[in-house]
Copies of this chain bind each other. A is one copy, B any other.
């Protein structure tokens, strides 16, 4: 099988088996670094960084050079084409006609997906705002796998900014896919966001147990957990008792402690985000003296600020510089695969099970657009050509997920494009909380964020257009299923 000409925008773009095969290739390349100079000879990679990131960019560019390829690079591009009002799609089409591969970092969430749709060449997402940074996730997984041989069944603790750290979100999904148990230890006010929790529960086979359900000991221990994701691969009885499970996990020791810095640049200036760094938890020698950390891999995507003490640098458990160094062979393997310079073999026994939920699409329009101000789809230069597109990830409650930035939308009102069999003059809208939602076929669903939006488009309220309480009352009173 080949990954040639495909793009890598989210970690879900590769199956577990493909990731394992990519790691095997990275191993091979790391072992014969100087012999890879013909793998991508004559190929040109465009490195487009619309947000500064020296580390990630140099890692990609070094990888390409070690494969014998060339690099054209544009850094901090804000001042140039964007200032002239150019769209992401136009930029992608033009650069895609020059280069053989595009690596893109962009502050708008979903921008890498747009680039991939228009470039005509393979695209690698090197970070799109707070959305994803999937090659970082590859490096993280690669380090765990190299040090522990398998991720399945490991206990991995995530530490620090679990709210804004994009690397943490991608890593969470990936660890769950590979069957790890995940312990969440956030800084105050920096717990896992709702949408990540929802995605974990909906798309992974394990179970996420949040704070409220956790035993007091675990909540207030030396390693105070906020939540735990219990992989279904562990014995069933334990999986049924998450509290006990977490205690056992802590007692058995943590395989890896993944530390992140506070993502200050993603904080809004809301008052409740002031001072988040004051009580930010610190990993240092003292913490690591505890029994549960005896053989823990200490990981960090870097750069660190104060959350990871320098005194640990010489500790054999510290993996963060190795983790950074391994970015080069991992990215070499990825680039080589997408450019067709190398191929992978997936063994017949491999885990190629589906890892991407198959949700119905919402593309009806009717004025619904993504509510995330950082989403590429709503930017002034992009709205001209990008049609809003959502995955309907749940009907009750009604939740749409933007196909670009993956932020969630909770429409308040619904209608059907088919309900009245053509009697368009009779168009009605209903509360999204009413029972009618589940009666509308996904392909006919129309959603509105407000009643005024529905009215503007010529819809009128049905009896079930009230608030949730109203609707329930109406339903009880009428027992009527006809509109």
Q: Indicate if the CB atoms of B303 and A81 lie closer than 8 Å.
A: yes
Contacts of A77 in B (CB 8 A): 52, 54
Q: List 30 A-B contacts (CB under 8 A).
A: A34-B42, A37-B41, A37-B42, A42-B66, A44-B65, A46-B58, A48-B54, A52-B80, A53-B80, A54-B74, A54-B80, A55-B91, A58-B72, A58-B74, A62-B98, A65-B72, A75-B75, A76-B79, A85-B261, A85-B303, A85-B306, A86-B305, A90-B303, A90-B304, A93-B324, A97-B321, A97-B324, A97-B325, A98-B328, A313-B385
Name the CB-closest residue of B to A99: B62
Closest 8 CB pairs of A and B: A97-B325, A86-B303, A52-B80, A65-B70, A310-B385, A85-B305, A62-B98, A61-B72
Option from B34, B95, B321 in Cβ contact (under 8 Å) with A58? B95
| Alpha-carbon distance A46/B310, docked complex (angstroms) | 24
How many A residues face the partner with a CB closer than 8 A? 58
Taking A34-B42, A44-B65, A86-B303 as given, write out 9 further A-B residue pairs in contact, using a Cβ cutoff of 8 Å, ordered by the A residue number. Answer: A46-B62, A54-B80, A84-B303, A85-B305, A90-B304, A94-B324, A98-B328, A310-B384, A313-B385
Count this chain's copies in the assembly. Answer: 3
> Which positions in A face B, CB cutoff 8 Å?
34, 37, 41-42, 44, 46, 48, 52-55, 57-59, 61-62, 65-66, 70-77, 79-81, 83-86, 90-91, 93-95, 97-99, 261, 264-265, 302-306, 310, 313, 321, 324-325, 327-328, 384-385
Q: Are A321 and B93 in contact (CB under 8 A)?
A: yes
**A328 CB, nearest partner CB in chain B, Å:** 6
- Write out the residue numbers on chain B whose beta carbons fall within 8 Å of the beta carbon of A81: 52, 54-55, 303
One of B66, B83, B261 near A84 (C-beta < 8 A)? B261
What separation, in Å, do the CA atoms of A110 and B72 have in the docked complex? 27
- How far, in whole Å, are A91 and B306 apart by their CA atoms in the complex? 15
A157 to B84, CA, bound (A): 24
Q: Least Cβ distance of A96 to chain B in Å?
A: 9
A83 to B261, CA, bound (A): 13
Contact (Cβ within 8 A) B94 A302 = yes
